[in-house]
Amino acid sequence: MTLAFLIYSYFPYGGQQRDFLRVVRECAARGHDITVYTMKWQGEQPEGIRIVIVPIRGWSSHVRYQRFSAAVADLLRIHPVDGVIGFNKMPGLDVYFAADPCFAERALKERGGYYRFTPRYRHFSQYERAVFGESSSAHALLLSPLQRRQFAQHYPGCEPRLHDIPPGISRDRQPPANVKEIRAQFRAEFGLRDDDHAVLQVGSGFVVKGVDRSLRALAALPDEVRNKTRYLLVGQDKPGKFKRLARSLGIAENCTFFSGRDDVPRFLFGCDLLLHPAYSESAGYALLEATIAGLPVLTTDTCGYAFHITRAGAGEVCASPFSQNDLNRRLLQMLLSDQRSQWRANGIRYGQTADLYSMPTTVAGLIETLVSAKHRAREEVTA
């Protein structure tokens, strides 16, 4: 098949982007002809895949997205393909990989009524309806039961076009035989004593990931615990306002901010807790990566993969509506709990028994099936 993959921006450290690259590579390995259309590509370009940079300018993100989708539609009329697969919501897709949360749900729960009169709301609402609305024939690949519930609620009738897919965690997050040595080296490198508490947060997009909530929870720890606690943030974003928040909370010396990096497994093995109180998250790969690495997790139920933490018995999940006091209390209890060894063992066991790794092959198979079915239906209509 000839397949076009659409993504607004690619960089190496986002969960959406990692999923995108895994799926693209799997489809290319199966012999399909792949063209990627994007506005921006950072990092190494994979061999055997045609990457087309579509230069777009605009005063706001939604204007750029509109211009991008229009430009790609023009290109696809000139260079038609068998199937169009999008990793962002937009018109004209055959298959949408649901890397983003349900916009209608977020607009309802997180925004005031005035937001519905803004150009930004109209754009994202229109683009989500282009995928899930009654007039759409696009199929959506869902990462979590949370997404299924929300999309089905806001777009009645879309259920036959929704397909559940498993996670696609990299197995290098599982602890190797020398994990104790890796942990010791990591803690020595960052000046962590054996009795220090190393709290890790991983993810790009610090606002949505709830970094502000994490910093406030750290500041709320009792002095004797906070003085022995380090917060390590790894992700690709602008950390300026969060560094200022840390200073205003009096915890700047407890915090270290890292940009996106390739040695995340060392952090998973070397730290004591993953803190991930996201406001909204379709999946949350960091949750599963920590779980299978044996790192206990504290997260929120607004993360699509939070149910895995409960199912695995690998940590705790804050229920909605979110309470900062609840997060503060749970963080303190987990740092001091004797249950950490059990959470660790449960997570490692879960990583050995659950299907957490087959996403690329599953998605490639679904793309083949759905695109083939579209062409058969078209042929029957024209016959």
Domain boundaries, the chain: 2-166+358-382, 171-353
Residue for token pair 């399909």: 32
Residue range 2-166+358-382 forms a domain whose CATH class is alpha beta
Q: What is the pLDDT of residue 191?
A: 96
Question: Which residues face 316 on adjacent strands?
Answer: 298
Q: Identify whether the C-beta of residue 195 lies closer than 8 Å to the C-beta of residue 228.
A: yes
Structure tokens at 199: 């709290």
Structure tokens at 347: 């997570």
Return the amino acid letter for 149. Answer: R
Q: Please tell me the pTM assigned to this model.
A: 0.91
Residue for token pair 């754009």: 123
Q: What CATH topology corresponds to 171-353?
A: Rossmann fold (3.40.50)
Q: How many CA atoms lie within 13 A of 318 on its CB side?
A: 27
Q: What is the pLDDT of residue 14?
A: 85
Would you call 168 helix, strand, or coil by DSSP? coil
- Full pLDDT tens readout for the chain, 383 residues: 999 999 999 998 888 999 999 999 999 999 999 999 999 999 989 989 999 999 999 999 999 999 999 999 999 999 999 999 999 999 999 999 999 999 999 999 888 889 999 999 999 999 999 999 999 999 999 999 999 999 999 999 999 999 999 999 989 899 999 999 999 999 999 999 999 999 999 998 999 999 999 999 999 999 999 999 999 999 989 999 999 999 999 999 999 999 989 899 999 999 999 999 999 999 999 999 999 999 999 999 999 999 999 999 999 999 999 999 999 999 999 999 999 999 999 999 999 999 999 999 999 999 999 999 998 887 777 76
Cα separation, 248 vs 232, whole angstroms: 18
What is the H or E stretch that residue 361 is in? helix 359-382
2-166+358-382 and 171-353 have identical folds: yes
Please work out, in degrees rounded to the nearest 5, the angle formed at the alpha carbon of residue 234 by the alpha carbons of 223 and 210: 65
